[in-house]
Structure 1
Amino acid sequence: MSTNPTMNDVARTAGVALKTVSRFVNGETNINPLLAARIADAIVALGYRRNLAAARIRPGWTSKILGLVISDHANPYYSALTRAIEQTVRARGYLLISASSEEDGPTFDRVVERLLEQRVDGLIVVPPRSPGRPWAQVMPPIPPLVVLDRPSDAADADTILADNAGGSELAVQTLIAGGAHRIAFIGDSLQLYTMRERFAGYKAALTVAGHAVDDALVATDAHSHEDARASVIRLMREGNPDAIFAANNRAAIGSLFAFRELGHRIPMIAFDDFEAAQLAEPPISVVTQNITEMGHLAAERVIDRATGGEKTPTTTVLPTALVLRGSELPDDILIEKV
Structure 2
Amino acid sequence: MNAELARGAGDRPPTMRDVATAAGVGLKTVSRYVNGETNIADPLRVRIAEAIELLGYRRNLAAASIRPGWTSKVIGLITSDLANPYYSTLAHAAESVAWQAGYLLTTFSSEEDGERHDLAVDRLIDQRVDALLIVPPRNPGRAWSQLRPPLPPVVFLDRPAVLDGAPAVLADNAGGAREAAIELARNGARRIAFVGDSQQIYTMAERLRGYLDGLAQVGLTPGPISHAAHSQEEARGVVSGLLAEGAADAIFAANNRAAMGALHAFADSGGRLPMIAFDDFEAAEVVRPRISVVSQDVARMGALATEIAIRILQGTPPVSDRTVLGTRLILRGSEKPDSPTILDRLPE
Shorter-normalised TM range: 0.7 to 0.9
Q: Which structure: larger Rg?
A: 2
- Normalising by structure 2, what TM-score? 0.78
Match of 1:276 among 266, 274, 283: 283
Q: Note the C-alpha offset of 1:60.
A: 2.8
**Any conservation in 1 of the 2:136–2:162 contact (CA below 8 Å)?**
no
> Alpha-carbon deviations, 1:161-217, whole Å to 9, x = none?
000000000011000000000001000001100000000011011111111124xx1
**Any conservation in 2 of the 1:278–1:284 contact (CA below 8 Å)?**
yes
**Any conservation in 2 of the 1:53–1:119 contact (CA below 8 Å)?**
no
Q: Note the C-alpha offset of 1:139.
A: 1.8
CA distance in 2, matches of 1:120, 1:243: 47
Q: 1:312 to 1:209 in 2, by over 3 A?
A: closer
**Any conservation in 2 of the 1:88–1:299 contact (CA below 8 Å)?**
yes
CA distance in 1, matches of 2:178, 2:298: 20
CA distance in 2, matches of 1:183, 1:311: 40
**Any conservation in 2 of the 1:270–1:287 contact (CA below 8 Å)?**
yes
**Any conservation in 1 of the 2:161–2:167 contact (CA below 8 Å)?**
no
**Any conservation in 2 of the 1:145–1:156 contact (CA below 8 Å)?**
no
Residue 85 (str. 1) matches residue 94 (str. 2):
yes
Give unpaired runs (5+ residues) of structure 2.
1-59, 342-348
**Any conservation in 2 of the 1:67–1:115 contact (CA below 8 Å)?**
yes
Q: Which residue of 2 aligns with 1:260?
A: 267
Q: Which residue of 2 aligns with 1:329?
A: 336
Give unpaired runs (5+ residues) of structure 1.
1-51
CA distance in 2, matches of 1:60, 1:200: 46
* SS of residue matched to 1:280: coil
Match of 2:220 among 211, 220, 225: 211
Q: Note the C-alpha offset of 1:286.
A: 0.4
Q: Note the C-alpha offset of 1:56.
A: 3.7
Aligned residue runs from structure 1 range 296-315, under 5 A: 296-310=303-317, 314-315=321-322
Identity fraction in percent: 54
Equivalent AA in structure 1 for residue 259 of structure 2: A
**Any conservation in 1 of the 2:311–2:317 contact (CA below 8 Å)?**
yes
- Normalising by structure 1, what TM-score? 0.81
Q: Which residue of 2 aligns with 1:242?
A: 249
Number of matched pairs: 281
Residue 227 (str. 1) matches residue 242 (str. 2):
no
Q: Which residue of 2 aligns with 1:127?
A: 136
**Any conservation in 2 of the 1:156–1:313 contact (CA below 8 Å)?**
no
Match of 1:107 among 97, 116, 120: 116
Equivalent AA in structure 2 for residue 236 of structure 1: L
* SS of residue matched to 1:103: coil
CA distance in 2, matches of 1:232, 1:109: 35
Q: Note the C-alpha offset of 1:237.
A: 1.5
* SS of residue matched to 2:102: coil
